[in-house]
Structure 1
Amino acid sequence: MIDKLDKPLGRRRGKAKPPESKTNLPRLPIVPIAIGIMALVIGAPLAWIFFVDNPEGGRPVANVEVNSVVDSNELARNLTVEEQSQTEEPGTGVIEVGNGEQLIVNTDDLPDSDNAAVGGLVRKDMLELSQHGYIPQVASNGDRPVDVYARPSISASTADGKPLIAIVVTGLGLSKDGSNSAIDRLPDDFTLAFAPYGKSVAEIAGKAREGGHEVMLQVPLEPFDYPQNDPGPQTLLVGQSVRSNLDRLYWLMSQIQGYTGIINHMGAKFTSSSGDFEPIMEEIALRGLAYVDDGTSNRSVAPQLAQRSGANFAVADITLDDTPSQARILEQLSRLEIRAREKGHAIGLATVLPISVRTLTEWAQTLEDKGIILVPVSALYTHHDGS
């Protein structure tokens, strides 16, 4: 009994057998295999580089033809002009851009310094590359976009006493179908203003110019009830730094090309603030553009600032479709005709609503019998450029 208690528990007599393995598979050489895989991963690309003739392999490649343009973004002060590159290929160089797109088009038929652009093209010497894209500038020979891109027209001095009416139709570019319909239906002497937000706004503006219309750019300015009433992205704001507002202006300017000037979208607060508005008006003038005030705010200091900066200027007399009905639009057009007969000319403002486009198209057909001449808005600018 004592002997049994002295023996270890759970031990049997005899030698213990080693546990049998579940499988009889041979052990794999893990380390050599891992080294081989690493050598293959590293060596394959190196072999491709050394033995395959593809110097651009492995790198993203994009070929973009961009000619030299003036690069001078002085902060709302001096517009510097550099000579154009002499290495450009003949027959190329006009750049039509918008929404970040850049296009080289043939310029064999484009005069170097004519006072009218050909076929809706944009003159390369009146483009400057900003951080957002190409924006207008005065050419080195002094040609200004306001003159080059204006639709040829008679003026008050050559109208033989007949009253002149200009109508600016705003809001184009937001709807492609609505914009194309307006371009096709409205007579060429209607001036078309483009909002800078549509996906195809640059393309549509180019079509308008090719069709003979004079075009403008709508720039959103801060109203008194902002941001409850928001004119849109990149709105120029009261109290912002000059640099910030100019950066926004450059973005807006880069969205279309070939326009004669700027027209405000809203902006009763901004246009009443001389300190905020003056650097913007100076920049507009320095870039050879005109400014049209929509006439909705009697507190606007645009006339004084335009005269001080030297910008060509006009102000709309009547908004035609504040109530979008044919009866109301015709009533406002009658008022516009009376205003034109009283002072020799008048400017109306309308939107690209279908009812407005249809009414304006039909009304335009009655002007010859009334002895009234429809002209682009550039024919009615007040000139502050010394001409």
Structure 2
Amino acid sequence: MTRLGVAGFGAFLMIFLIMTSPALADTETSSVPPVEEPKPVPRIAIVIDDLGHHQDHFAFADLELPVTLAIMPFTPKAEALAERASEHGHEVMIHMPMQPEHHDRQQQGELDRFDTKAQFIATLSAAFSRLPQARGLNNHQGSRLTAEQQPMQWLMQELAARQLYFLDSRTTTATVAEAQAIEAGLSSARRHVFLDNEPNPEAILLEWQRLITLAEQQGFAVAIGHPYPATLEFLQTQLPALAAQESVQLVYLSELLQTTK
């Protein structure tokens, strides 16, 4: 074979090997479709506010659902209710009275804008001592105080020192509380839905459905309810089946915060 013939054969052989190489095989027929990650189940935390005044509030501590109990620290049943809740494995938080709008009188046991820092911290410390089981704190009323930057800074400093979380009940759109909690590095969240502004079965169900929509959109949602008979009946009789039907996970607030950091 001539030198030219040998060179031509060599070029042909190289082209043939390249074209038949497995690395260049049709990727459409050999590629493996990507495995889709399972979509996380939306998480919902339900907080019941205003607890501690009456004996019938103990029914909320007896629920088998993971409901976070927000207890007012200076109420007659506060300490006993917190103990019952802990015995049943429920999470407790402090539902701290704070100054509402159009209320300019100081009240004992309420945080307000007239407090010095020492007074503010003394009131908070008394609340913590009453409810040592508390994992966090949210505001009771507070439409005036939660709009004030300085006392909210004091609050978040005290919560950070105790490694507690904060839930902004959002009783006013002017609130700076959640922003101050984030700035202080706290685990924190905001209320998305009030379940029972209208405490009747039809209205509660509508708010539950709105809560589900929010949880599906953002992966989680927080609802606040109150110790009304209609709310208790909803939690006892309807919520377990509804939660299973909607494929959502009911969790304590601290658990929800762990997945939203």
**Under TM normalisation by the shorter chain, which class is it?**
0.7 to 0.9
**Does residue 199 of structure 2 align to residue 324 of structure 1?**
yes
Deviations 1:275-333 (A, max 9, x none): 22211211111111111111232111122211221211011101111111111111111
User: Structure 1 residue aligned with 2:244, among 343, 364, 368?
Assistant: 368
Matches within 5 A, 1:108-187: 160-176=39-55, 178-184=56-62, 186-187=63-64
Q: Distance in 1 between matches of 2:39 and 2:244?
A: 14
Q: Distance in 2 between matches of 1:292 and 1:181?
A: 23
User: Structure 2 residue aligned with 1:355, among 230, 235, 254?
Assistant: 230
Percent identity (aligned): 26
User: Structure 2 residue aligned with 1:233, among 108, 115, 119?
Assistant: 108
Deviations 1:114-154 (A, max 9, x none): xxxxxxxxxxxxxxxxxxxxxxxxxxxxxxxxxxxxxxxxx
Q: 1:159 to 1:251 in 2, by over 3 A?
A: farther
Q: Distance in 2 between matches of 1:159 and 1:240?
A: 51
CA contact (8 A) 2:146 2:177 kept: yes
User: Structure 2 residue aligned with 1:277, among 140, 152, 160?
Assistant: 152
CA contact (8 A) 1:239 1:276 kept: no
Partner of 1:192: 69
Q: 1:206 to 1:197 in 2, by over 3 A?
A: same
Higher relative contact order (CA 8 A, sep 6+): 2
Q: Distance in 2 between matches of 1:318 and 1:200?
A: 27
User: Structure 2 residue aligned with 1:290, among 149, 165, 173?
Assistant: 165
Letter in 1 for 2:211: L
Q: CA deviation at 1:159?
A: 8.8
CA contact (8 A) 1:193 1:215 kept: yes
Letter in 2 for 1:165: I
Q: CA deviation at 1:268?
A: 1.2
Partner of 1:381: 257
Matches within 5 A, 1:251-262: 251-262=126-137
Q: CA deviation at 1:236?
A: 0.7
Matches within 5 A, 1:32-181: 160-176=39-55, 178-181=56-59
Q: Distance in 1 between matches of 2:77 and 2:171?
A: 29
Letter in 2 for 1:174: H
Letter in 2 for 1:161: P
CA contact (8 A) 2:85 2:91 kept: yes
Q: Distance in 2 between matches of 1:214 and 1:188?
A: 11
Moved over 6 A (4+): none
Partner of 1:213: 90
Q: Distance in 2 between matches of 1:365 and 1:202?
A: 32
Q: Distance in 1 between matches of 2:87 and 2:208?
A: 28
Q: Distance in 1 between matches of 2:174 and 2:207?
A: 23
Partner of 1:53: none
Q: Distance in 2 between matches of 1:159 and 1:171?
A: 38
SS for the counterpart of 2:245 is helix
Letter in 1 for 2:116: S
Unaligned runs of 5+ in 1: 1-157
Q: CA deviation at 1:261?
A: 0.5
Aligned-residue CA RMSD (Å):
2.2
More helix by share: 2
Q: Distance in 1 between matches of 2:84 and 2:190?
A: 26
Partner of 1:344: 219
Q: CA deviation at 1:334?
A: 0.7
Q: Distance in 2 between matches of 1:249 and 1:383?
A: 28
Q: Distance in 2 between matches of 1:248 and 1:273?
A: 17
Q: Distance in 2 between matches of 1:322 and 1:254?
A: 31
SS for the counterpart of 1:381 is helix
SS for the counterpart of 1:278 is helix
SS for the counterpart of 2:222 is strand
**Does residue 120 of structure 2 align to residue 245 of structure 1?**
yes
TM-score, L = length of structure 2: 0.80
Q: Distance in 1 between matches of 2:116 and 2:258?
A: 30
Q: CA deviation at 1:383?
A: 8.6
Letter in 2 for 1:378: S
